[in-house]
Structure 1
Amino acid sequence: MTSSTDLQGLRILITRPEGRNEELRSALVAAGAQVWVQPLLRIVPLAENDERYQHARRCLLDLDRYQHIIFISVNAVACGMALIDELWPQYPLGVRCHAIGAATAKALHDWPWPAGALTPLDAQQGGAMDSDSLLASSAFNAVAGQRVLIVRGCGGREQLAQKLRERNARVDYAECYQRCGPDLAADDLQAQLDSASIQLVCLNSGETLQQFAERIAAERRDEYCLVLPSARVQQLAHELGFRCTLIAENAGTAATLAAIKTWQRERNVGNQK
């Protein structure tokens, strides 16, 4: 049985983009941790004269020609839905909507979608829908000849689109925003870490990890334990010289909290031996 003080004494830095940290911060504080917030990515919508924005607008203007639309993140929902809401007074029928991650699914469910267009929210509560589980779902068993639109930020992994194309789906991207590093010097971040005696750093993506690594000297990377959302990001962390890592089931708050509690329990048992 866990208690509200499971994480008593832990000093944790969380690094999600501005406006995305409060849920995790509150959950960690409620579990007894001391928490500091330092966003390591900025989410910047594309300018209207950017060709990538214009391409996304054209794709979303033709949304009724697609059978599936996939939102990669909460930011993809916010930026993509702003365009859809502008272009479509009524959401087009016949387009199935999918989300990568429970938080993304919840963001989608906050919009007034037609009945049946969305995967039920409770289907994603036990574990977030990642790219692999989405590909394994019945919706994508037979997509040959179907059109799929992926809403995301600029750049990113190509695995999902590649797998869909291997199944002979026609895949387009609607890139609506870009991710930028913070205006934060290495000395400033290191000073924060030192003054707060940070033990754990939560990094919810490979890009956030890269921003963190750029600001931490190689000889100091074994001083922190990193909480990471996948084995892929863990492998990247090891390649960058971080020795202590733990993997959450996904980047969501519940999974991150569970991973930290498990780590803390194991650490306490080890200290008692």
Structure 2
Amino acid sequence: MSHLPALTPLPILVVTRPLAQAIHSVARLQAAGYAAWALPTLEITGLADEPAQQQLAQALAALPTYDLVIWVSPNAILMSVTAAPTLLTTWPATTTIAVLGPGSLQTLQTEGLAPTVSVFSPQGATSNAPAETARYDSETLWQVLNEHYLPRTVSGKWAAQRVLILRGQGGREWLARQLQTAGAVVDVVACYARRCPPLTAPQQTTLRGWQAVQQPLAWVLSSSEGASNLISMLEMGGISLSWARRQPVWVPHPRIAERAKTLGFLDIHLCGTGDSGLIDSLAQARRDSA
């Protein structure tokens, strides 16, 4: 867990991403001059049951039979590589990749995918969306695929396409439904599980201490599920929800903002995507309040 920042008159940014990503984000924020602390509200784990493990192994072994593979997150890529270590370095030339955002693009590169493999994303060479304005969600990826991927296929029709979506258990169904409605043959396969972690004793102590002295915080929420988990964790840990809900919230997507609103948060801000987008939005907020 990241080093606990000292008390400050400015809000401490509480990053709620899964642990590996949260630690990276905290380091980026601290390097940019912000006090930040990691409080993961999603725990990423491997698949517990053997049938799910076998389904993933079979899907990864059958990659050459798919026209398009969609990874919904960096965790989906990492857990797929864990299941098949040579996955990206031996990627079939006939199978195209699509991902949702810059974090996944970076993960593909870090894990060894050859630059010659076609990758479609809301932020990539195949998309017209500038990095600073792109929305990294299923809706935008669907638009990118229709505008840039489909015209490059032999038939130009989804009815001729076999698509594999790799995601966590219980993920969002929207993109799969769009593909199926358009005629594609879609397999949705889980490559990891998510759970809501309990607050640890040190985390409870820290939050109670901040609550006692009314230390300003700002919750950085990166998913709707993580936002819901935060409330559950605080409630189970005996942290005042009225205090927590008074702290400002930063979210990268209107859908997460809507969830935060239904959860009772009072001060919700939409920010850019990723660490750079958040840092830019925080800097702009400082300028606006000066």
Q: What TM bracket, shorter-length normalisation?
A: 0.7 to 0.9
Do the aligned residues in 2 keep the contact of 1:76 with 1:151 (CA within 8 Å)?
yes
TM-score, length-scaled by structure 1: 0.84
Partner of 1:178: 193
Unaligned runs of 5+ in 2: 1-7, 152-156
Task: Please list the CA deviations of residues 11-60 of structure 1 after superposition, one character each: whole Å capped at 9, or x if unmatched.
Answer: 2211222221233223322332212222222110113x432222121111
* Residue 208 of structure 2 is aligned to residue 191 of structure 1: yes
1:144 match: secondary structure: helix
Displacement after TM superposition at 1:260 (Å): 2.0
Partner of 2:101: 101
Q: How does 1:164-243 map to 2 (within 5 A)?
A: 164-184=179-199, 187-188=204-205, 190-191=207-208, 193-194=210-211, 197-214=215-232, 215-216=234-235, 217-243=240-266
* Residue 100 of structure 2 is aligned to residue 70 of structure 1: no
Do the aligned residues in 2 keep the contact of 1:246 with 1:259 (CA within 8 Å)?
no
One-letter amino acid of the structure 2 residue matched with residue 54 of structure 1: Q
What percentage of residue pairs aligned between the two structures are identical? Answer: 25
- Please, what is the CA RMSD of the aligned residues? 2.7
Inter-partner Cα distance in structure 1 for 2:115 and 2:279: 33
Inter-partner Cα distance in structure 2 for 1:114 and 1:11: 39
Q: How does 1:25-174 map to 2 (within 5 A)?
A: 25-47=26-48, 49-85=49-85, 90-110=90-110, 111-113=112-114, 115-119=116-120, 122-123=124-125, 125-126=131-132, 127=134, 129-137=136-144, 138-140=148-150, 142-174=157-189
Moved over 6 A (4+): none
Unaligned runs of 5+ in 1: 1-6
Do the aligned residues in 1 keep the contact of 2:70 with 2:164 (CA within 8 Å)?
yes
Inter-partner Cα distance in structure 1 for 2:180 and 2:267: 37
Identify if the C-alpha distance between structure 1 residues 140 and 157 changes in structure 2 by more than 3 Å, giving closer, same or farther: farther
Inter-partner Cα distance in structure 2 for 1:172 and 1:188: 45
One-letter amino acid of the structure 2 residue matched with residue 168 of structure 1: G
TM-score, length-scaled by structure 2: 0.80
